[in-house]
Chains A and B, each alone.
Chain A
């Protein structure tokens, strides 16, 4: 039972305020902001209590999304509701920033009206809401045709036909008539989040992957009126839940969305789902410890002291991916308490800097071809150098995004829409491996 919902910017500006039950006054907003800013230690805890009122909040897009409740409600429900609310706002407005929330406040108030009734959550499904929300979304970035041009010079087929920029997936789903919104588009994302810890003796301590297969569907208005249910057929190669040999993909656990029909899953590994508009997670799976591929990066560090009282850190980073792949961006963090830095990097487009705020050395690598090896030599000034300073160099953490690569080997064989759609519909399949936490201890 939600009493109020409000959205604050990180500076405390009131963006949205909606009271459902009239149980608490508007001063709750200021009280919340005081409590949140008074807490120390990084991020404040999620649930706070003031007299009889509980504040539950999440932080997304630099904004505080807060729900208050008087009764002892379920934390999972409220947190899940707030997450769904942010996803809805993102679906409608395109991106989740303070500016877009400010410009679309009327839409958000209307959404809140429909989604919650007297504190009880009604529905957060985009399909149903689309029939009731009348306000149009105002996009903060004017959408330009050049972003998604499919025709190359002289009408030739270019590389761009096959590849859309990732911004395509963030366009608002409900666009006004007469724009490009007459296309049907389905994006299927296989997003894997990798968390790896590699110990100091180069042994892999922990290797875990959590991933989700989700669909992002944008269908134009008038198609839906004719065919309200459009089942998709997504097929996967057999993941066997027992350890086996061969080309099977192994997962430890997987769970499916309620709406997925699994009748053909055991035999042909076919998932049938009728996805709703907007984003929906179809399948989630996890794999621990026994991944078919080795971790993509290996680091060979060596640290020593030189005669001038400085610490020399020589890092050699090796990428174990097949040579055709290349990474767009990699950044390396290595916390340490050093005061100044001079470096020698192996190639001119990389850059490194000392960040005193995080007490870390940040090395950015814009492009990293597979199978290559890059090295960097950092000379660090330390005040009060001692033998123990070598231990103070913290673990190296990498953050990267590998497109078109899945560590478990999961691939989508085909994607079929049934019944067959009359107009053209675009289907995009995206594989991304994202580093949740890739830590290498020195």
Chain B
């Protein structure tokens, strides 16, 4: 507790508040609380302590509640960030049943929060930005006209820039989209690769609602021919196409005449996926795939190899004559020589599928392409209720959460990955439906049916396995 002067009173009051006898006597407790609130002579730390203690108090009635709120009102506008944050947290927890009051409290606290977001101390800026992100989950329009405050400064550290870009994506609307996109375009060529990747992802997220402009910017960026930018653009295009299939044309024209050799495995995976899906419209697709197939022995990443398999099979469906030969070579390599079991099993699956017939292949690979509703357009997403995050306001939680997403700025957009056949029965979490997902329960062709539940339960399998003698092989009839 604070040190001198009438901070003695604060100490007494605090002792009184923690005293169970006082707590049991409602009148005494309430009077103590009111004396606590009237202390304006404490310094910053005293006030934060007092507000933290007040968190524990539940007012008896509405009159008392509003009394307390009006007494604490000036503290909401304090330019000391700790006091303002503690008061806001108190308001939000006291008024959890009165949404209008919460809303007006948020609006009044907006000024001091923005001031903290522009303070000289970098760390304070970071804390304010994380909290603003929390606020925007419930009130997306709160900071609308202040979007310029979130433009990144030149010398800011990368983690602040990335946070600011995430906030900018939330603030976009019809009036400011042109300016915001201009700014983001400027950050795409930033010297720091992570920052430029975050900027490109941000443009992709905005592209879900403002597709044309963003596509123009993204395809323009491909012209720079820089490794990290191209890789990020391809991944963003893949995610965008998944949500907005109408951008297929622009993507095809961008892929026309593609010559680059990408080193980054994620970028190559994205490129292969796009070639597979739009292979029939891109003239050079088989030749590009052929280059990749010829180099598959030196390919390190298993993800790229599985993407290559799926893309080749898809292309085979639309252009069989050109692709047949290379697909044969690829399957032979994967089944005979590949070391990674996931890739080998995927290839085996496709081989058996092909034996069943072309119709089955078509159905499995192209049927049931569902979009994930959580990837829908950015605007029009239902806001979360305040109570979901009010308890973590003004604690360290938003900052640790923010830290884990800084490195992985794409947390909201899942990468569609091909499931391996071993996980046929796993329910894909709602975030990662995959194209070409062999796990489709409604395959009604009859000749081939994949069942969701296995023929053997795990316990039976274990029993059978343990019964085996050495050297014998397990023959299980799988219906």
Measured CB to CB, the residues of A under 8 A from B are 40-49, 54, 56-59, 69, 72-77, 79-83, 120-125, 128, 193, 195, 197, 199, 205-206, 208, 210, 253, 255-258, 284, 286, 288-289, 333, 335, 358-360, 386-388, 391-392, 394-395, 397, 399, 436-439, 441
CB pairs A–B below 8 angstroms (21 shown): A42-B157, A42-B158, A43-B158, A46-B399, A46-B403, A48-B403, A54-B400, A58-B123, A73-B395, A73-B396, A75-B398, A75-B399, A81-B45, A120-B45, A122-B1, A123-B43, A193-B120, A360-B191, A387-B223, A392-B189, A437-B155
| Known A-B contacts A42-B157, A42-B192, A392-B224; A74 and B394 likewise in contact (beta carbons under 8 Å) | yes
Most buried by A among B45, B149, B155, B192: B45
| Known A-B contacts A205-B183, A208-B149; A253 and B189 likewise in contact (beta carbons under 8 Å) | no
Beta-carbon contact of A75 and B118 below 8 Å: no
Would you give the 0/1 interface string for B67-98, flagging 1 where the beta carbon is closer than 8 Å to chain A? 00000000001111110111000000000000
Query: What 9 additional pairs, Cβ within 8 angstroms, besides A74-B394, A80-B124, A397-B155?
Result: A48-B403, A72-B397, A74-B82, A80-B81, A121-B45, A123-B45, A205-B151, A255-B115, A358-B191
B159 within 8 A of A: yes
| Known A-B contacts A77-B48, A80-B82, A206-B148; A47 and B154 likewise in contact (beta carbons under 8 Å) | no
Measured CB to CB, the residues of B under 8 A from A are 1-4, 43-45, 48-49, 52, 77-82, 84-86, 111-112, 115-116, 118, 120-124, 126-128, 148-149, 151-159, 179, 182-183, 186, 189-192, 194, 223-226, 394-400, 402-403, 406-407
| Known A-B contacts A54-B400, A122-B2; A79 and B48 likewise in contact (beta carbons under 8 Å) | no
| Known A-B contacts A43-B158, A80-B81, A122-B3; A395 and B123 likewise in contact (beta carbons under 8 Å) | no
Beta-carbon contact of A46 and B123 below 8 Å: yes
Beta-carbon contact of A123 and B115 below 8 Å: no
Expressed in whole angstroms, the Cα–Cα distance for A199 and B179 within the complex equals 10
Expressed in whole angstroms, the Cα–Cα distance for A439 and B159 within the complex equals 19
| Known A-B contacts A83-B124, A208-B149; A76 and B182 likewise in contact (beta carbons under 8 Å) | no
Q: Which residues of the other chain, B, contact A74 by a CB distance below 8 angstroms?
A: 48, 52, 82, 85-86, 394-395
Q: Which residues of the other chain, B, contact A360 by a CB distance below 8 angstroms?
A: 191
Q: Which residues of the other chain, A, contact B186 by a CB distance below 8 angstroms?
A: 395, 441
Closest to A56 in B: B396
Name the 3 nearest CB pairs between A and B, nearest first.
A437-B153, A45-B403, A255-B79
Chain A nearest CB: distance from B211 CB in Å?
23
Closest to A398 in B: B154
Closest to A125 in B: B43
Chain B nearest CB: distance from A192 CB in Å?
12
Q: Which residues of the other chain, A, contact B407 by a CB distance below 8 angstroms?
A: 40-41
Q: A122 contacts which of B45, B189, B226, B397 (Cβ < 8 Å)?
A: B45
Beta-carbon contact of B124 and A79 below 8 Å: yes
Q: Which residues of the other chain, B, contact A386 by a CB distance below 8 angstroms?
A: 225
| Known A-B contacts A76-B82, A77-B45; A210 and B118 likewise in contact (beta carbons under 8 Å) | yes
Closest to B79 in A: A255
Q: Which residues of the other chain, B, contact A438 by a CB distance below 8 angstroms?
A: 154
Chain A nearest CB: distance from B179 CB in Å?
7
Expressed in whole angstroms, the Cα–Cα distance for A305 and B183 within the complex equals 26
Closest to A131 in B: B4
Q: Which residues of the other chain, B, contact A395 by a CB distance below 8 angstroms?
A: 154, 186
Expressed in whole angstroms, the Cα–Cα distance for A54 and B116 within the complex equals 22
Chain A nearest CB: distance from B312 CB in Å?
31
Beta-carbon contact of A47 and B225 below 8 Å: no
Closest to B44 in A: A80
Beta-carbon contact of A439 and B44 below 8 Å: no
Q: Which residues of the other chain, B, contact A387 by a CB distance below 8 angstroms?
A: 223
Expressed in whole angstroms, the Cα–Cα distance for A72 and B2 within the complex equals 20
Closest to B40 in A: A258
Chain B nearest CB: distance from A297 CB in Å?
14
Q: Which residues of the other chain, A, contact B394 by a CB distance below 8 angstroms?
A: 74-76
Beta-carbon contact of B48 and A45 below 8 Å: no
Q: Which residues of the other chain, B, contact A358 by a CB distance below 8 angstroms?
A: 191
Expressed in whole angstroms, the Cα–Cα distance for A299 and B84 within the complex equals 41
Expressed in whole angstroms, the Cα–Cα distance for A392 and B221 within the complex equals 10
Q: B118 contacts which of A81, A255, A286 (Cβ < 8 Å)?
A: A286
Most buried by A among B81, B154, B397: B154
Expressed in whole angstroms, the Cα–Cα distance for A41 and B189 within the complex equals 16
Chain A nearest CB: distance from B110 CB in Å?
11
Beta-carbon contact of B396 and A76 below 8 Å: no
Beta-carbon contact of B2 and A77 below 8 Å: no
Expressed in whole angstroms, the Cα–Cα distance for A257 and B406 within the complex equals 34
Expressed in whole angstroms, the Cα–Cα distance for A59 and B80 within the complex equals 20
Q: Which residues of the other chain, A, contact B396 by a CB distance below 8 angstroms?
A: 47, 49, 54, 56, 69, 72-73, 75
